[in-house]
Amino acid sequence: MVLMLLAAALPARGQEFATFLAALRADSFADKEQAVAALGKLGDGRAVAVLTALKDGRLLKAPDGRVIISQPPNLIDPMTGEVVPDLTADALDRVHINNRLRGAIEGALGELTLFSADPAARLAAARDAVRHPSVDGAVLLEKAIAAEKEADIRAAMQQSLSAARLLSGSKQEKLAAARALGTTTDPQIKNLLDQFRAASESDPELRQAADAALASIKHRLWLVGLLANLFQGVSLGSVLLLAAIGLAITFGVMGVINMAHGEMIMLGAYAAYVCQQVFRAFLPVGWINGYLAAALPVAFLCAGAVGVALERTVIRRLYGRPLETLLATWGVSLILQQTVRSIFGSPNREVANPSWMTGGFDLIGGFTVTWNRVCIIFFCLTVLAALALLLNRTSLGLQMRAVTQNRPMASVMGIRTARIDALTFGLGSGIAGMAGVALSQIGNVSPNLGTIYIVDSFLVVVFGGVGNLLGTFVGALFLGIVNKFLEPVAGAVLGKIVVLVTIILFIQRRPRGLFAPKGRSAEAEA
Amino acid sequence: MLKNIRYAVAVAAVIAGMPIAATAQSGDTIKVGVLHSLSGTMAISETTLKDTILMMVDDLNKHGGLLGKKVEAVVVDPASNWPLFAEKARDLLSKDKVAAVFGCWTSVSRKSVLPVFEELNGLLFYPVQYEGEESSNNVFYTGAAPNQQAIPAVEYLMSGEGGSVKRWVLEGTDYVYPRTTNKILEAFLKSKGVPPEDIRVNYTPFGYSDWQTEVAAIKSFASAGKKTAVVSTINGDANVPFYKELANAGIKASDIPVVAFSVGEEELAGIDTKNLVGHLAAWNYFQSVKNPTNEAFIRQWHDFIKDPKRVTNDPMEAHYIGFKMWTHAVEQAGTTDVDAVRQAMYGQKVKAPSGFVEVMNTNHHLSKPVMIGEIQSNGQFDVVWQTKQAIKADAWSPYLAEDKGKVADWSYPWVCGNCTKPKYTN
């Protein structure tokens, strides 16, 4: 109220800007919200910087009554845009905001940024406008469409305009809007159409248009849902596959029941963490986005080295004694967990997505594909392809296969079987380490990381058929997709149970999994 | 050979970080037990609480100990194994003869040790927010009951300031605390006139890591035109992938706020919070609270742990309060005898780092302030709302039909934690 009076009393624009700016210092969130709305309406270019800073928590209160923008390393006076030399950021209090205020700022900024010079900002603002359709918004959008040069941004604006007209336009406009919106796939627009349908009960023509648009959008939404499930299934499958590939070698090819496999994944994740910290501490700021490139080989070498050491010291002495191997490797897994806990502490460690793996994009309206998932799918396929090449096209791969298929014969042919065993185990562990780097991008980095994936990994390898890369690949994808199609129907807990029961029944029928096994384990059984 | 084996065992023990130096000083010491998992899945949260008690003991000894004696912490590791909690508790009470035990995190571990404490008449200080529905004569609950955390958080979101939320997703991990809390919340929401179709309840397994489907479902549930919020009782390890998926799916706090009851500063330390700014947590304490007691508490913690980057959190504060109250009660009673100390506990007041004076009530729960914080990009919380005064805990929820008439009051004439009639009548 005081604000309004002040606003009315001071006609000059610069004065108004100063008044509203000062009002941001208020203690109550409601007062601040009024000031934000007023700043948005003012159309003053300086407001954008102020509101953005407020949203990011960079707006500070100086003791002399000024409001100051922190732009490290400088402090800037938003009135003049000049650097404030006599204050330090640490000594000042922030202007606090809450979610409601954050929403108001986004709304105000959205209106301001519809005319921004940055196309990405315009596109975001155009898309955002769908969420709060209003008469004022429609007017702004019309102006923006007239000024817009880029086709896709104009299309987004057009869609938001249709949404605004659906509820507030003339009858003709409403009909056109309903028709246009029927071709979208956004659940929010479906909801708008539902409201529109309810509001136009009395007018048969409008109702018909609404019904047609709703039927069309429902069909599209169903298709999008199917696509989303499929993508999520493939994505889960790729995560399972990554976790299981290493095991497919150590368990599948060599027949070693390696309970410490999960800990190799965990070591890889910690390698990613260490690389990230090293990049943050020693390299220029811009390089941080590349830390994964360093983390992959480091993780491979670390986990691989631990794998070789494990094979040389423990597993070698236990070949052909699966029960002892199981217990020994389980012990090793506990030792590794506790070692990591002692070195890094038990709380989770923060591994940030590089900026190019952050966020996602709307493939089709209402279905967001996240970058980190896409990257992991591609990474997983690359690892699998590289591994297949290594096993089938190199002499090392040939020797590995020879040793697993017929050890005495391979030995007679001059292959140093002990060395090949160590290398094979190291390779499997190293790949698990690389998987750890990838998994650090979607989950925790904690000493318990491995225990989350160990059961699933064994499940995939056993289901796919022990000793068969193709089986592991098909098994992982199948499990991922089945899981994701079950989950919306049955819920996560029940879905998991159903999948487990299915696998148990399947293994009963086909004890050797999807694809019949080859290698040492098959010999042992024969 | 024997030497070799001994050596190997010693090395293994060092590697496993097992030996906890309990520097036993013969004679005049008072022992307190620390029953927190230092290995296994819960080590992530509980190790810090062990350190908090060690810090408090250290501080107490520096200031002359208790009743003229040194205080000694006996640390055991129940290894996130619920039956082992009961065994270790029995050892602490009958072998080590500790005067009080500070411990447990999960409700299931508390339920597991409860019979032991009741049988041997021990004292347990339980520092974690929990689902309520319990009041034992042998436990002091220094964390929040549902009416000190869950209900106020939901009320805040319902208010205009919190965004006038109309539609609710109750998202939890599948075990006793989320199930009970969500049962209470559902009853509360319905009592406020929220129709059942505007409530979505979903449970996921422990350590759940693939949140794509659930996040997409939340998104589509929220697109129904009413302001939607997520109330999360997701436990520890599943939180990081959940928040990562949320951030990447572009769900902003101003669209669909998520309020969590198990995510504090310690958990945020493992997450990149840049894209989570504005999501909420409800606690009785945040590290960012500004007052002299809290500043001293944080300084003490940093000095003790020798790492200025370590954060403090709500359960740590609860242990701080519990330990202070216990020492005050022992001094007042002049003995560590459990029955005497218990009587002295009622009405104990401590100036807490939350900035409030917190009181122990006769239902064995504290009166605590409730605070709602928003996540900031630096991994801390900004308090956006708090109660004017401390709220007294309800051990039994007034929103559940089966709790009707149940009273927890261990003073005369009730002397009972779960009764509809006083024990003594005249």
Residues A439 and A307 in one domain: yes
Determine the straight-line distance between the first and last CA of chain A, rounded to whole angstroms.
88
Residue A213 lies in a domain: no
> At how many degrees (to 10) do helices A395-405 and A417-439 cross?
110
Residues A250 and A105 in one domain: no
Q: How confident is the model at residue A12 (pLDDT cuts 50, 70, 90)?
A: low
Q: How confident is the model at residue A216 (pLDDT cuts 50, 70, 90)?
A: confident
> Which of A210-214, A431-435, B294-298 is predicted with the least confidence, judged by mean pLDDT?
A210-214
Of B161, B241, B248, the CB nearest to A443: B241
Q: Does A263 touch chain B (CB under 8 A)?
A: no
pLDDT greater than 80 at residue B291: yes
What pLDDT score was predicted for residue A9? 42
Q: Structurally, how many domains does chain A consist of?
A: 2
Q: How confident is the model at residue A424 (pLDDT cuts 50, 70, 90)?
A: very high
* Closest by Cα among B43, B21, B52, B30 to B323: B52
What pLDDT score was predicted for residue B134? 93
pLDDT greater than 50 at residue A99: yes
Mean pLDDT of B170-187: 92
Q: pLDDT tens digits, residue range A135-191?
A: 777 887 888 888 888 888 888 888 888 888 887 778 888 888 888 888 877 777 887
Residue A2 lies in a domain: yes
> Which one is predicted more confidently, A7 or B40?
B40
> Which of A89-93, A349-353, A363-367, B273-277 is predicted with the least confidence, judged by mean pLDDT?
A363-367
CB A185 within 8 Å of CB A364: yes
Residue A173 lies in a domain: no
Residue type, B192: K
Q: In chain A, pLDDT over 90 holds for what percent of residues?
A: 27
* Closest by Cα among B113, B150, B117, B157 to B131: B150
CB A242 within 8 Å of CB A268: no
- Identify the burial level of A30 via C-beta atoms within 10 angstroms of its C-beta, where 0-12 means exposed, 13-18 middle and 19 or more buried: exposed
Residues in contact with A285: Cβ distance below 8 Å, sequence separation at least 6, in sequence order: none
Tell me if residue A201 falls in helix, strand or coil.
Answer: coil
Mean pLDDT of A432-446: 91
- Identify the burial level of B412 via C-beta atoms within 10 angstroms of its C-beta, where 0-12 means exposed, 13-18 middle and 19 or more buried: exposed
Cβ distance A448 to B266 less than 8 Å, yes or no, reads no
> Which of A326-330, B135-139, B367-371, B402-406 is predicted with the least confidence, judged by mean pLDDT?
B402-406
Of A102, A188, A346, the CB nearest to B253: A102
Cβ distance A346 to B203 less than 8 Å, yes or no, reads no
Q: How confident is the model at residue B2 (pLDDT cuts 50, 70, 90)?
A: very low
**Interface list for A 461-520 with B (CB within 8 A):** 483-484, 487-488, 491-493, 496
Q: pLDDT tens digits, residue range B127-144?
A: 999 999 999 999 999 999
Query: What secondary structure letter does DSSP report for A355?
Result: G
Cβ distance A188 to B223 less than 8 Å, yes or no, reads yes
The rounded distance, in Å, linking the Cα atoms of A136 and B160 is 23
Of A99, A342, A483, the CB nearest to B253: A99
Q: pLDDT tens digits, residue range A345-376?
A: 877 888 888 888 888 887 776 678 889 999 99
What pLDDT score was predicted for residue A516? 65
Given A72, A87, A117, which residue is the final one in a domain?
Answer: A117
**Interface list for A 145-164 with B (CB within 8 A):** none
Beta-strand relationship, B29-35 and B100-103? parallel
Residue A98 lies in a domain: yes
**Predicted structure pTM score:** 0.83
Residue carrying structure tokens 């845009």: A81
Cβ distance A99 to B39 less than 8 Å, yes or no, reads no
What pLDDT score was predicted for residue A13? 63
Query: What secondary structure letter does DSSP report for B291?
Result: S
What rounded mean pLDDT belongs to chain B?
Answer: 90
The rounded distance, in Å, linking the Cα atoms of A424 and A401 is 10
Minimal Cα distance from A443: which residue of B? Answer: B241
Of B12, B38, B269, the CB nearest to A347: B269
Q: pLDDT tens digits, residue range A245-279?
A: 999 888 877 888 899 999 999 999 999 999 999 99
* Nearest CA distance, B145 vs chain A (angstrom): 25
Q: Dihedral through CA A294, CA A299, CA A302, CA A308, nearest 10?
A: -130
pLDDT greater than 70 at residue A526: no
> Which of A3-7, A59-63, A124-128, B98-102 is predicted with the least confidence, judged by mean pLDDT?
A3-7
Mean pLDDT of A473-499: 89
Mean pLDDT of B91-106: 95
| B267 contacts in chain A (CB < 8 Å) | 347-348
Given A93, A117, A141, which residue is the final one in a domain?
Answer: A117
Q: pLDDT tens digits, residue range B188-222?
A: 999 999 999 999 999 998 888 889 889 989 988 98
Given A391, A417, A452, which residue is the final one in a domain?
Answer: A452
Residue A401 lies in a domain: yes
The rounded distance, in Å, linking the Cα atoms of B261 and B182 is 11
Residue of B9, B14, B20, B44 to mutate when probing chain A, most A C-beta within 10 A = B44
What pLDDT score was predicted for residue A191? 79
Range of the domain at A43: 1-117
What rounded mean pLDDT belongs to chain A?
Answer: 85
> Which of A165-179, A470-484, B336-350 is predicted with the least confidence, judged by mean pLDDT?
A165-179
Give, in degrees to the nearest 5, the angle at Cα A179 between A178 and A181: 65
pLDDT greater than 60 at residue A69: yes
Of B18, B161, B210, the CB nearest to A98: B161
> Which one is predicted more confidently, A136 or A486?
A486
pLDDT greater than 80 at residue A523: no
CB A418 within 8 Å of CB A254: no
Residue A85 lies in a domain: yes
* Nearest CA distance, B73 vs chain A (angstrom): 20
What pLDDT score was predicted for residue A513? 82
Residue A359 lies in a domain: yes
Mean pLDDT of B260-289: 90
Residue A358 lies in a domain: yes
* Nearest CA distance, A53 vs chain B (angstrom): 13
pLDDT greater than 90 at residue B329: yes
> Which of A104-113, A425-434, B251-260 is predicted with the least confidence, judged by mean pLDDT?
A104-113
The upper half-sphere exposure of residue B250, i.e. CA atoms within 13 Å in the direction of its Cβ, equals 13
Of B163, B240, B253, the CB nearest to A348: B240
What pLDDT score was predicted for residue B145? 94
